[in-house]
């Protein structure tokens, strides 16, 4: 311990320690010299004899320094200083290497920042690690179908009987309402929640202004019409006016007193990151949600009508596993006294996050896929920089050779070279974090805009940097240092240092870069091609003059009133395209598959402009009684009954996921459509008759403005959304954004490959300048020299491109084989022009990057080349 303390002290008194060491060595030498002089030697000879007797002075100084200080740390500091000076002397190399690495690190950090905001950051509540969401699993649903719905009696039972939660709250899902405030809002559609009175207190959220609910303000149905506003709604709609406290806001025509404003950071606990416009007490749920129009004592409290999310706070000392076991036993024990259509088999507790499914295997797999793609770009950048370091090492071979010749250890030089690589990676890491911080806000704004359009409401996510993002960026920097720095450092310090720029290692790195670039080009090219096809493809239904009607409250006989309007061509009810999917198991007598099922009324196909190829649609009476008849898509008919007439044939659907199949008779065949997604035709799609499921859909004719005015006059309390603007264009916009992103990634891959190949070829030309001069002096033509250099440089690129092509073709074949109707292997791999286009693009870029330095070398005067050193 004493020696350690003395070493630490000597770090801060290095000059004094050097003076003391010199004084001690000089004193020892004087004593030896005096001893030799006493033996009769002259003064000069005595001094030389003293030095011979003492031994190596400098070696003694080094041993003394090692004993008194931390030698490794001091050498590391020296290496940092030397590496900094060395990189500063080569600004072109330094900037190019840092830029290439910063691009890859910044891209990876940006993706991780998004993942961190979605999956890792907890909700902004007090003690988020102790707050959990209750979810249930049903017996007859497929694995992964998780339900967060609970009945109010279940909530009450858990609240009164659990011993693991310090508090437990209930909240409805988003409730759409019409909001009006005199002089500010005029019937705008907003979404909010009804919550238990202890909601804010248990989450530990204090209001920015005003107060939250008192403990008993949710007890009596219809009592206490008061609301707490969300910050985003207050800021955007009410202009951050603190004077709104105590004022009245009408929701669905009912007046509510505003009692508080939530802080900006709290956006709610919904399953999607959408800021709530308001929170009302559960006592007002009947006035907010049309689904609770009947007596709340028979519907709200019925355990078979789950309508609430449950969130609890674990007591200190209680683990999630212990709490889960108790809650599971309580819920299943309570439900055992009732007849359940969907038996609950398990209860689990999930951490609260901005998204509900971040622990789902599908979300994790998608996140891993995106990270792999951007990591490939970083790997290509590492191969690029490794080639540059090889070239730099070959250029420094004289320096390294001299250091080895005078006794420097190879490990010492390798450490020095790795220190330079570490400086490069740290500079690139800081630049990458800065790039991510600069590029992040517009990307987040774009993503939030898409999410807002898709989900409605005010979407909020916290994309700010935190310790995880910074540590990820710097950790990635150190990993890249190992990826691009070790091999060049070892190769540059080989005893036969003339082989430091080994063509095989350079060629291998070029091949790796080419293979990665082809893989990325194939992936991004395929994505862009598919997305553009989806954007241009006809969805199979009309959307420009079709409108969906969303009624805040029940409107009796609304369809009958709308059918009388001359401005409307047709009216129907049913599920809208691109608004979600219902995919029950279908049994055709051959195999059990999943089919997209859409409930429709009479007039549905005419309203959406879906062509009926054969047979008929549904009658009014069939829709009223939900008759066991069906219309199937053309692809469905082709898949189930190839070469046969499907009219009159039968199939079965398990509509309740309880292995109870209902038989349907095919009465019509419709043209294929893209209901689930614009990216592909629905492989299996069946239409079922129902007059009560789904919303109202109308198709206008004539002047659009007059039709909308007529709709507003006939039903003033409805929201009208155009199918093109509210659904189709949004998904096309997402596809366009993904196309731009994928295209950018592809361009980055090509850019890195081109820069890497050009850099290596330029270095090769520089190294072979004298050889080129000799060849040309002996009569070689400039075209022959150019051809020789280009072919030698492109050989590893050809090999890497071929490997990347084969890997890309294999991955494409695997991807196609997972489709519902997979293509034959040969067609899946070779019938898609994007593979060949990307292969040609890669070879063209490689050729151009090789020809430029080769032609420059061929123009060199042979006499100048022969004098080149």
Q: What is the pLDDT of residues 507-546, one digit of tens each?
A: 787 788 788 888 877 777 777 777 777 777 888 898 889 9
Give the structural domain span for 771.
724-869
Are 132 and 169 in contact by the 8 Å Cβ rule? The answer is no
Residue 683 clears pLDDT 70, i.e. is over it: yes
13 located within any domain: yes
Task: Decide which of 308, 328, 351 is a domain's last residue.
Answer: 351
Considering the domain architecture, whether residues 53 and 113 belong to the same structural domain is answered as no
Residue 123 clears pLDDT 50, i.e. is over it: yes
Residue 811 clears pLDDT 80, i.e. is over it: no
Location of structure tokens 């990634």: 745
Strand-pairing partners, residue 548, are 697, 721
Location of structure tokens 């909010």: 192
Beta carbons within 8 Å of 282's beta carbon, 6+ residues apart: 152, 170, 172, 194, 195, 196, 197, 218
611 located within any domain: yes
Orientation angle between helical segments 833-858 and 729-767, nearest 10 degrees: 30
What secondary structure does DSSP assign to 830-841, as a single string? HS-HHHHHHHHH
Q: Using CA atoms, how far apart are residues 62 and 493, in angstroms rounded to an integer?
A: 24
Considering the domain architecture, whether residues 319 and 370 belong to the same structural domain is answered as no
The DSSP bridge pattern shows strands 254-261 and 226-229 to be parallel
Average pLDDT for residues 60-83, to the nearest whole number?
71
Average pLDDT for residues 121-143, to the nearest whole number?
77
Considering the domain architecture, whether residues 327 and 184 belong to the same structural domain is answered as yes
Considering the domain architecture, whether residues 387 and 303 belong to the same structural domain is answered as no
Considering the domain architecture, whether residues 681 and 620 belong to the same structural domain is answered as yes
32 located within any domain: yes
Radius of gyration of the chain (CA): 37
**Per residue in 712-727, pLDDT tens?**
787 776 778 888 877 7
855 located within any domain: yes
Rank 63-67, 161-165, 353-357, 492-496 by mean pLDDT and report only the highest: 161-165
Average pLDDT for residues 469-481, to the nearest whole number?
86
User: What's the CA angle centered on 192, arms 186 and 196, to 5 degrees?
Assistant: 135
Q: Using CA atoms, how far apart are residues 502 and 488, in angstroms rounded to an integer?
A: 10
Confidence bin at 290 (pLDDT 50/70/90): low
What secondary structure does DSSP assign to 468-482, as a single string? HHHHHHHHHHHHHHH
Confidence bin at 107 (pLDDT 50/70/90): confident
Confidence bin at 273 (pLDDT 50/70/90): low
Confidence bin at 214 (pLDDT 50/70/90): very high
Residue 402 clears pLDDT 50, i.e. is over it: yes
116 located within any domain: yes
Q: Write down the pLDDT at residue 834.
A: 60
Considering the domain architecture, whether residues 113 and 136 belong to the same structural domain is answered as no
Q: Write down the pLDDT at residue 65.
A: 67
Are 272 and 206 in contact by the 8 Å Cβ rule? The answer is no
Confidence bin at 486 (pLDDT 50/70/90): confident
Least confident of 592-606, 662-676, 760-774, 842-856: 760-774
Residue 607 clears pLDDT 80, i.e. is over it: yes
Average pLDDT for residues 427-456, to the nearest whole number?
71
Task: Decide which of 663, 686, 716 is a domain's last residue.
Answer: 716
Q: Write down the pLDDT at residue 299.
A: 47
Average pLDDT for residues 310-321, to the nearest whole number?
92
Q: Write down the pLDDT at residue 245.
A: 93
Least confident of 1-5, 115-119, 427-431, 464-468: 1-5
Q: Write down the pLDDT at residue 382.
A: 85
Name the DSSP class of 142: P
Q: Write down the pLDDT at residue 499.
A: 46
Considering the domain architecture, whether residues 679 and 801 belong to the same structural domain is answered as no
Are 718 and 697 in contact by the 8 Å Cβ rule? The answer is no
Beta carbons within 8 Å of 263's beta carbon, 6+ residues apart: 205, 206, 207, 208, 231
Considering the domain architecture, whether residues 690 and 785 belong to the same structural domain is answered as no
Considering the domain architecture, whether residues 311 and 372 belong to the same structural domain is answered as no
Residue 615 clears pLDDT 90, i.e. is over it: yes
Task: Decide which of 470, 501, 532 is a domain's last residue.
Answer: 501
Number of structural domains (the chain) is: 5
Q: Write down the pLDDT at residue 333.
A: 85
Average pLDDT for residues 789-809, to the nearest whole number?
80
Are 645 and 656 in contact by the 8 Å Cβ rule? The answer is no
Mean pLDDT of the chain: 79
Confidence bin at 646 (pLDDT 50/70/90): very high
Confidence bin at 30 (pLDDT 50/70/90): confident
837 located within any domain: yes
Q: Which of 689, 696, 691, 693 is nearest to 565 (CA)?
A: 696
Considering the domain architecture, whether residues 107 and 137 belong to the same structural domain is answered as no
**Per residue in 778-797, pLDDT tens?**
777 777 777 777 777 778 88
Residue with the bigger pLDDT between 550 and 832: it is 550
**Per residue in 250-272, pLDDT tens?**
988 889 999 999 998 888 888 77
Considering the domain architecture, whether residues 246 and 163 belong to the same structural domain is answered as yes
Rank 357-366, 629-638, 691-700, 705-714 by mean pLDDT and report only the highest: 629-638
Residue with the bigger pLDDT between 310 and 802: it is 310
526 located within any domain: no
Beta carbons within 8 Å of 603's beta carbon, 6+ residues apart: 570, 571, 572, 617
The DSSP bridge pattern shows strands 131-138 and 278-281 to be unpaired
Confidence bin at 821 (pLDDT 50/70/90): very low
Average pLDDT for residues 20-39, to the nearest whole number?
82
Q: Give the H/E segment covering residue 367.
A: helix 361-395
Q: Is 219 helix (H, G, I), strand (E, B) or coil?
A: coil
Percentage of residues in the chain having pLDDT higher than 70:
81
Average pLDDT for residues 294-300, to the nearest whole number?
47
Residue 401 structure tokens = 């050779």
Considering the domain architecture, whether residues 246 and 310 belong to the same structural domain is answered as yes
226 located within any domain: yes
């Amino acid at each position: 311990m004493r020696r350690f303390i003395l070493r630490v002290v000597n770090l801060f008194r290095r000059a004094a320690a050097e003076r003391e060491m010199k004084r001690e060595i000089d004193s020892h030498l004087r004593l030896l010299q005096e001893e030799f002089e006493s033996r009769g030697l002259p003064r000069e000879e005595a001094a030389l004899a003293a030095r011979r007797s003492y031994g190596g002075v400098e070696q003694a100084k080094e041993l003394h320094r090692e004993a008194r200080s931390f030698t490794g740390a001091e050498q590391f500091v020296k290496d940092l200083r030397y590496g900094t000076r060395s990189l500063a002397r080569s600004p072109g190399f330094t900037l190019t290497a840092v830029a290439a690495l910063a691009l890859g690190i910044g891209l990876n950090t940006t993706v991780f920042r998004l993942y961190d905001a979605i999956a890792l950051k907890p909700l902004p509540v007090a003690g988020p690690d102790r707050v959990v969401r209750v979810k249930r699993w049903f017996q007859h649903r497929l694995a992964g179908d998780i339900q967060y719905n609970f009945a109010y009696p279940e909530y009450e039972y858990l609240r009164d009987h659990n011993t693991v939660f310090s508090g437990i709250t209930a909240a409805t899902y988003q409730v759409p309402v019409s909001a009006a405030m005199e002089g500010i809002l005029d019937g705008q559609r907003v979404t909010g929640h009804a919550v238990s009175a202890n909601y804010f207190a248990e989450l530990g959220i204090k209001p920015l202004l005003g107060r939250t609910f008192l403990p008993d303000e949710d007890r009596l149905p219809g009592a206490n019409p008061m609301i707490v506003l969300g910050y985003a709604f207050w800021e955007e709609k009410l202009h951050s006016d603190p004077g709104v406290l105590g004022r009245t806001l009408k929701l669905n025509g009912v007046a509510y007193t505003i009692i508080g404003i939530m802080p900006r950071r709290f956006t709610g606990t919904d399953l999607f990151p959408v800021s709530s416009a308001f929170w009302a007490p559960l006592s007002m749920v009947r006035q907010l949600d049309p689904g609770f129009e009947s007596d709340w004592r028979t519907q709200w409290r019925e355990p078979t009508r789950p309508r609430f999310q449950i969130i609890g706070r674990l007591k200190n000392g209680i683990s999630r596993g212990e709490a889960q076991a108790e809650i599971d036993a309580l819920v299943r024990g309570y439900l055992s006294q009732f007849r359940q259509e969907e038996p609950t088999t398990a209860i689990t507790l999930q951490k609260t996050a901005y998204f509900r499914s971040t622990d789902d295997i599908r979300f994790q797999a998608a996140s891993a896929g995106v990270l792999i793609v951007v990591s490939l770009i970083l790997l290509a950048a590492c191969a690029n920089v490794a080639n540059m370091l090889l070239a730099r090492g070959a250029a420094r071979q004289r320096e390294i050779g001299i250091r080895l010749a005078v006794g420097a250890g190879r490990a010492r030089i390798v450490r020095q070279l790795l220190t330079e690589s570490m400086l490069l990676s740290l500079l690139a890491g800081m630049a990458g974090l800065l790039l991510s911080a600069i590029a992040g806000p517009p990307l987040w704004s774009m993503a939030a805009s898409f999410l807002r359009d898709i989900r409605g409401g005010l979407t909020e996510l916290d994309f700010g940097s935190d310790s995880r993002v910074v540590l990820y960026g710097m950790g990635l920097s150190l990993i890249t240092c190992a990826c691009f720095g070790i091999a060049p450092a070892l190769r540059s310090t080989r005893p036969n240092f003339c082989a430091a720029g080994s063509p095989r290692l350079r060629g291998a790195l070029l091949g790796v870069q080419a293979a990665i670039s082809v893989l990325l080009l194939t992936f991004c090219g395929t994505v862009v091609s598919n997305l553009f096809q989806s954007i241009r493809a006809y969805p199979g239904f009309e959307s420009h003059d079709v409108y969906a009607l969303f009624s805040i409250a029940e409107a009796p006989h609304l369809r009958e009133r709308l059918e009388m309007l001359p401005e409307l061509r047709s009216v129907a009810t049913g599920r809208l395209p691109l608004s979600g999917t219902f995919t029950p198991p279908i049994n055709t007598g051959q195999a059990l598959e999943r089919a997209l099922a859409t409930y429709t009324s009479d007039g549905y196909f005419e309203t959406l402009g879906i062509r009926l190829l054969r047979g008929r649609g549904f009658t009014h009476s069939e829709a009223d009684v939900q008759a066991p008849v069906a219309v199937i898509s053309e692809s469905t008919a082709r898949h189930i009954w190839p070469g046969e007439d499907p009219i009159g044939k039968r199939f079965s659907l398990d509509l309740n996921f309880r292995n109870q199949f209902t038989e349907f008779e095919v009465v019509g065949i419709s043209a294929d459509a893209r209901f689930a997604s614009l990216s592909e035709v629905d492989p299996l799609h069946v239409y079922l008759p129902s007059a009560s499921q789904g919303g109202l859909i109308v198709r206008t004719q004539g002047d659009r403005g007059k039709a909308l005015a007529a709709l507003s006059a006939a039903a003033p309390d409805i929201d009208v959304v155009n199918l093109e603007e509210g659904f189709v264009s949004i998904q096309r916009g997402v596809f366009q954004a993904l196309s731009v992103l994928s295209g950018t990634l592809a361009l980055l891959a090509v850019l890195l490959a081109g820069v890497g190949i050009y850099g290596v070829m330029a270095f090769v030309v520089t190294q072979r300048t004298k050889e080129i001069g000799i060849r040309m002096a002996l009569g070689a033509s400039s075209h022959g020299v150019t051809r020789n250099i280009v072919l030698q440089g492109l050989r590893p690129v050809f090999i890497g491109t071929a490997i990347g092509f084969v890997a890309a073709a294999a991955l494409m074949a695997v991807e196609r084989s997972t489709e519902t109707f997979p293509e034959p292997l040969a067609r899946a791999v070779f019938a898609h022009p994007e593979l060949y286009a990307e292969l040609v693009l890669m070879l063209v870029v490689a050729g151009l990057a090789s020809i430029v330095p080769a032609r420059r070398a061929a123009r060199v005067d042979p006499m100048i080349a022969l004098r080149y050193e």
